[in-house]
Amino acid sequence: MSKSSAAASGRRLSVTEVLDLRFLPDEGLAFDEPLDATWLDAQLQGANGGATVFHASAGSPGTAKLEVEPLAPVASKPPIRIHGSITARVETTCVRCLEPVQQALEAQVDLTLFARADVSPRGPAERDEGLGLTQHELDEGTYEKNEIDLPSLVREALLLEIAMNPACEDEDACSSRTSAMLEAANRPASVVIDDRWAALRRMAEAAGKPPKDDN
């Protein structure tokens, strides 16, 4: 973190709100704040395609340490580098045995946003027809309307860290819980299978009966 940037907290600025560039000093802003559970829960809605529900852990669920660093005077709509780390503790259920699982997320952020209006098309080969951006600029991202959407940035960084298939750390315990569940779930089905085998067996027995000896 560079020594020159101003503390965002002293300016009542937060990563949970869109940053208006009028509040971004040329020397940059340093955010260092806790993320509360209610806000995190809202960001985690629909995480993982909704396949698994994630909740922020109670207590001190997260922190955001981000530096927003204009690479030239803000008035010139410069590229803006945003870097730092975001942590969050979330709770979900194991995809195998359905036990509660905790996950500690830690996202490292380092990206540079370009002012959308300032982006000029370059070589036709690497140009995106729709937006007039080069592929490199699309990868890095843009900002527009003199605003930086910090909440979306934090959200996306966290969602990238979320496990697609959260599972218990104790694999042995998880496996025995899972097989117990499978056993319980398969019990009625196995009865049906047994009946079918019994019927087959009777048929096989009937067919295999030795012909009556007429002697």
User: Which of 92/134 has CB closer to Zn ion?
Assistant: 92
Q: CB of residue 177 vs Zn ion: minimum separation in angstroms? A: 6
Q: CB of residue 95 vs Zn ion: minimum separation in angstroms? A: 8
User: Which of 154/174 has CB closer to Zn ion?
Assistant: 174
User: Which of 104/199 has CB closer to Zn ion?
Assistant: 104
Residues 49 and 152: their CA atoms lie apart, in Å, by: 17
Residues sharing a CB contact under 8 Å with residue 109, sequence separation 6 or more, in sequence order: 66, 82, 83, 84, 85, 86, 153, 157
Length of the chain counted residue by residue: 215
| Secondary structure percentages of the chain, helix, strand, coil, to 5 | 40, 25, 35
Q: CB of residue 171 vs Zn ion: minimum separation in angstroms? A: 8
Given the rule CB under 5 A, which of 8-16, 152-160, 174-182, 195-203 is the region that contacts Zn ion? 174-182
- Long-range CB pairs of 102-106 (<8 Å, 24+ gap) are 102/57, 103/54, 103/162, 103/163, 103/166, 105/62, 105/158, 105/161, 105/162, 106/161
x-or-dash pattern for Zn ion, window 36-75, by CB under 5 A? ----------------------------------------
Size of the site for Zn ion (CB under 5 A): 6
Site residues (CB under 5 A) for Zn ion, limited to 73-132:
94, 96-97, 99
Contact 177/124 with Cβ under 8 angstroms?
Answer: no
User: Which of 135/176 has CB closer to Zn ion?
Assistant: 176
Q: CB of residue 158 vs Zn ion: minimum separation in angstroms? A: 22
DSSP SS3 for 109: strand
Distance of CA 93 to the CA centre of its chain: 15
Site residues (CB under 5 A) for Zn ion, limited to 154-173:
168
CA Rg value for the chain: 29
Q: CB of residue 97 vs Zn ion: minimum separation in angstroms? A: 3
User: Which of 152/175 has CB closer to Zn ion?
Assistant: 175
Contacts with Zn ion, residue ranges (CB under 5 A): 94, 96-97, 99, 168, 174
